[in-house]
């Protein structure tokens, strides 16, 4: 299955869990979603499906990917974990692929404490999914296939219903904070805030910076250390890309992918805090730290060497 490498490792794990082999593709520098050109180049007779990721709430280049999928007669699937309430050219995420998977984890803009959902326009697939989530039961005392218990519990459902009522306000709060970050960080050498294209509707959950070390004279990790030292929980995503992470890098053929955009982004991306709990004054404070750090880059770079790395990423227990 073809999958972008610049994504959370769970995307690749889901493919592996089903007994398939993830074949990693590069992404577009403009919006960090999978490159249709890279997908086309990676396509073989053994390709079972294309799995795109609507990263940061940016829907993929759906039309181009759909054309490739139809030409090669493979399903087009999407990881929509970041993209609840997003759209491309007025068409809602959830209706763009043969199936799209949402996450309702507590870190997402819409959450039910845990869980998720699969959206599809394929009636036959929907019927199979309903059977899978309920032990394969098709009626009273009638099991017709192997299934499991993947139904949402009542507490999670209640949380979701409550969250839906506030979702428009949360998105509006996110948008205001995103726009303020863009205004405050504009003109800083080597600092770029990723913005949704005019074709897309975003939920603005993520404020994504790209730090160009050559222009900023400060690398992403040093800036992250400074922010952490000031109590700002910025975080790098996704470092490294899946193709350089285990268990994929050590698999036969692993490490042979040439994904220059993914490697560059893995060293440059830093995500800043946002959301209704963060006041506009807090946004101004975070932006001022970023600006001050870049203005004094040589001194900050030297000081950052003495700072601890900070919780940029998960620290797994030793195996």
pLDDT digits (tens, 9 = 90+) for 123-160: 999 999 999 999 999 999 899 999 999 999 999 999 99
CATH topology of domain 168-304: 3.90.1150
Q: Which CATH class is domain 2-156?
A: alpha beta
**For residues 240 and 264, is the Cβ–Cβ distance under 8 A?**
no
Residues of the chain with CATH 3.40.640.10: 2-156
**pLDDT confidence bin for 27, thresholds 50/70/90:** very high
As a whole number of angstroms, the distance between CA 40 and CA 69 comes to 9
281: its two tokens: 């004054």
Alpha helices in 73-195 (DSSP H): 123-133, 154-185
Residue 316 has pLDDT above 80, yes or no: no
Where does the chain hold its CATH 3.90.1150.10 domain(s)? 168-304
Q: In the predicted model, is pLDDT for residue 314 greater than 60?
A: no
Nearest CA to 3 out of 28, 26, 29 is that of 26
pTM for the model stands at 0.93
The 10s digit of each residue's pLDDT in 88-135 is 999 999 999 999 999 999 999 999 999 999 999 999 999 999 999 999
pLDDT of residue 254: 62
| DSSP structure class, residue 310 | -
pLDDT digits (tens, 9 = 90+) for 239-263: 999 999 999 998 766 667 899 999 9
Burial 48-85 (b: 16+ CB within 10 A, else e): ebbbbbbbbbbbbbbeebbebbeebebebbbbbbbbbb
């Amino acid at each position: 299955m073809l999958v972008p490498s610049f994504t959370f490792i769970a995307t690749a794990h889901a493919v592996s869990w089903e007994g398939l082999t993830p074949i990693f593709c590069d992404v577009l520098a403009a919006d960090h979603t999978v490159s249709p050109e890279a997908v086309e180049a990676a396509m073989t007779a053994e390709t079972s499906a294309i799995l795109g990721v609507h990263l940061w709430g940016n829907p993929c280049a759906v039309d181009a990917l759909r054309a490739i999928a139809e030409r090669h007669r493979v399903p087009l699937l999407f990881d929509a974990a970041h993209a609840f309430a997003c759209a491309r050219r007025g068409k809602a995420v959830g209706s763009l692929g043969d199936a799209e998977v949402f996450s309702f984890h507590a870190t997402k803009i819409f959450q039910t404490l845990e869980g998720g959902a699969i959206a599809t326009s394929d009636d036959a697939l929907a019927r199979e999914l309903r059977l899978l989530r309920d032990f394969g039961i098709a009626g009273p005392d009638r099991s017709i296939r192997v299934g499991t218990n993947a139904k949402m519990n009542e507490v999670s459902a209640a949380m979701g219903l409550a969250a839906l009522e506030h979702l428009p306000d949360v998105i509006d709060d996110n948008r205001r904070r995103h726009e303020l970050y863009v205004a405050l960080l504009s003109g800083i050498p080597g600092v770029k805030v990723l913005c949704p294209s005019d074709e897309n509707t975003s939920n603005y959950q993520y404020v994504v910076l790209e730090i160009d070390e050559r222009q900023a004279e400060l690398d992403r990790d040093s800036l992250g250390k400074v922010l952490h030292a000031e109590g700002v929980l910025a975080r790098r995503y996704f470092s490294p890309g899946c193709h350089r992470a285990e268990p994929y890098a050590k698999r036969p053929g692993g490490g042979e992918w040439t994904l220059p955009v993914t490697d560059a982004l893995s060293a440059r991306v830093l995500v800043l805090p946002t959301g209704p709990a963060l006041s506009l004054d807090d946004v101004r404070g975070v932006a001022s730290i970023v600006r001050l750090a870049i203005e004094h880059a040589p001194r900050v770079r030297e000081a950052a060497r003495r700072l601890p790395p900070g919780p940029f990423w998960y620290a797994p227990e030793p195996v």
